[in-house]
Homo-oligomer: A and B are copies of this chain.
Amino acid sequence: MENITQLLFTLFLIYSSAKLLGEIFERFKQSAVIGEILAGVILGPQVLNLIGTSEIFPVLAEIGVIILLFNVGLHTKVEEIMRVGKSSLVVAVLGVVFPFVLGYLYTLIIDHTTTEAMFIGAAMVATSVGITARVFADLGIIESRAARIILGAAVIDDVIGLIVLAIVTGLDKGTLSLVKIGLITLEAAAFIVFLIIVGRRIVHRVLPRVSKFRTKDAVFSLAILFCLLLSAVASYIDLAAIVGAFLAGMILSGLNLEFNLSVKTESLYNFLVPFFFVILGTWIDLSIFSQPQLLWAALIITIFAVSGKLLGCGLGALNLGSKEALIVGFGMVPRGEVGMIIASIGLRMGAITSDLYTVIIFMVMATTLMTPPILRKLVMRKPEEKPQEGEKMKPE
């Protein structure tokens, strides 16, 4: 019973600080997300240490980010992603090449091994689309062309990130083979193509039938089940779980209005999503600020991480005009879990030092924290994209 009490208080603490700081940040015309992350920094081990080590909160966070991307998917029509498919592909590929090369070269220059340089390069590759999606959703422009290109690119990015991870871990273990890389790529691509072609048809046939079930909100339950299943399968084939959640949402987007799916998801979203950003905040390691040398390296890596995505993705989206290209570029800047996972694999394998690991974590955090205010500024300059905001405020 003691446990439940503590757990409920911690739930209250996390959710209330997230909402409070989010509100304060919005009043200062900043992103609520930053407030939520800051709540995590304050509650986390670096400052007040009030969250403890329970596995519950990271799990709630994971379910939260899954619901976030599912909801984003619900607002993303397959056809519209297809229409920007070529742009997304170019954005994704260039956005991988530039940061990788910059990170790789810089690590070599500061006297590290080739393997280390490969790991740093790899950790700089994968975009974490959660932050961008949330900022776009908060601003009510999740259905804009820039958003679509970013979302499409993020999915492709994740597949490329997977391949890069296979290459760098394979390199170090000496087990790299072209066959293996080919298989991983094929598996991921087959999963996505199968879902979009076959999965979508099945869902569009099954869902309307389920609406006649006796169970209350049976369609909504089935949609959530579909999201959980695809997240699990995506995670099983080593894609990020959120890629599965996004695909599930996208496949259901055609039925969203008919069955009120995104409206029904609102309270789950409202309750669970803040946990993701708060937990993200608890992971921020402030100790780097007491090590000037490391901080210096971290700042340089961060600059390369940002300029790499800006150059690569911006270049890839240049045909949209410079303003939108800039939005796409910055939208791809935040690195997330995948970067940290690659760094932690490197650390565990002994392929990178703990100093380099700290540098990567700093880069992930810096790119995460800088994106919302910059995106907000850039988007706010484009008044013609804003009208949807009013609609988002009142879901019913």
Please report A residues at the B interface, Cβ cutoff 8 Å: 1, 4-5, 7-9, 11-12, 15-16, 19, 22-23, 26-27, 32, 54-56, 59, 62-63, 66, 138, 213-218, 220-222, 224-225, 228-229, 231-232, 235-236, 238, 241, 260, 263-268, 270-271, 341, 392-393, 395-396
Complex Cα distance, B5 from A12, in Å, reads 27
Specify which chain B residues have a CB less than 8 angstroms from the CB of A229 in the assembled complex: 12
The 9 closest A-B pairs by CB, nearest first: A8-B232, A26-B214, A5-B235, A12-B228, A9-B232, A23-B215, A267-B267, A267-B268, A5-B236
Minimum C-beta distance from A262 to chain B (A): 10
Jot down 20 A-B pairs with beta carbons below 8 A, ordered by A: A1-B235, A4-B62, A5-B235, A7-B59, A8-B231, A9-B232, A11-B232, A12-B225, A12-B229, A15-B221, A23-B218, A55-B56, A138-B216, A216-B393, A217-B270, A263-B396, A264-B266, A264-B270, A266-B267, A267-B268
Are B215 and A22 neighbours in the complex by a CB distance under 8 Å? yes
Complex Cα distance, B361 from A362, in Å, reads 52
Minimum C-beta distance from A356 to chain B (A): 21
Which of A8, A16, A341 has the most B CB atoms < 10 Å from its CB? A8
Copies in the complex: 2
Specify which chain B residues have a CB less than 8 angstroms from the CB of A231 in the assembled complex: 8
Closest to A226 in B: B12
Are A241 and B393 neighbours in the complex by a CB distance under 8 Å? no
Specify which chain B residues have a CB less than 8 angstroms from the CB of A5 in the assembled complex: 232, 235-236, 241
Closest to A235 in B: B5
Specify which chain B residues have a CB less than 8 angstroms from the CB of A232 in the assembled complex: 5, 8-9, 11-12
Specify which chain B residues have a CB less than 8 angstroms from the CB of A235 in the assembled complex: 1, 4-5, 8
Complex Cα distance, B220 from A392, in Å, reads 15
Complex Cα distance, B16 from A215, in Å, reads 12
Complex Cα distance, B218 from A63, in Å, reads 21
Complex Cα distance, B338 from A4, in Å, reads 14
Are B270 and A271 neighbours in the complex by a CB distance under 8 Å? no
Question: Which one of B8, B11, B218, B236 lies within 8 Å of A19 (CB-CB)?
Answer: B218
Complex Cα distance, B391 from A216, in Å, reads 12
Specify which chain B residues have a CB less than 8 angstroms from the CB of A228 in the assembled complex: 8, 11-12, 15
Question: Which one of B56, B217, B267 lies within 8 Å of A264 (CB-CB)?
Answer: B267
Closest to A54 in B: B55
Complex Cα distance, B20 from A111, in Å, reads 59
Complex Cα distance, B16 from A63, in Å, reads 16
Minimum C-beta distance from A184 to chain B (A): 14
Complex Cα distance, B395 from A213, in Å, reads 16
Complex Cα distance, B394 from A260, in Å, reads 12
Are A16 and B225 neighbours in the complex by a CB distance under 8 Å? yes
Are B264 and A225 neighbours in the complex by a CB distance under 8 Å? no
Are A224 and B26 neighbours in the complex by a CB distance under 8 Å? no
Are B225 and A1 neighbours in the complex by a CB distance under 8 Å? no
Specify which chain B residues have a CB less than 8 angstroms from the CB of A271 in the assembled complex: 224, 268
Which of A11, A15, A23, A220 has the most B CB atoms < 10 Å from its CB? A11
Complex Cα distance, B5 from A15, in Å, reads 26
Specify which chain B residues have a CB less than 8 angstroms from the CB of A267 in the assembled complex: 217, 220, 264-268
Specify which chain B residues have a CB less than 8 angstroms from the CB of A224 in the assembled complex: 15, 270-271
Specify which chain B residues have a CB less than 8 angstroms from the CB of A9 in the assembled complex: 232, 236
Complex Cα distance, B1 from A229, in Å, reads 16
Specify which chain B residues have a CB less than 8 angstroms from the CB of A62 in the assembled complex: 4, 7
Minimum C-beta distance from A136 to chain B (A): 14
Question: Which one of B66, B214, B216, B270 lies within 8 Å of A27 (CB-CB)?
Answer: B214
Complex Cα distance, B167 from A336, in Å, reads 54
Complex Cα distance, B286 from A178, in Å, reads 53
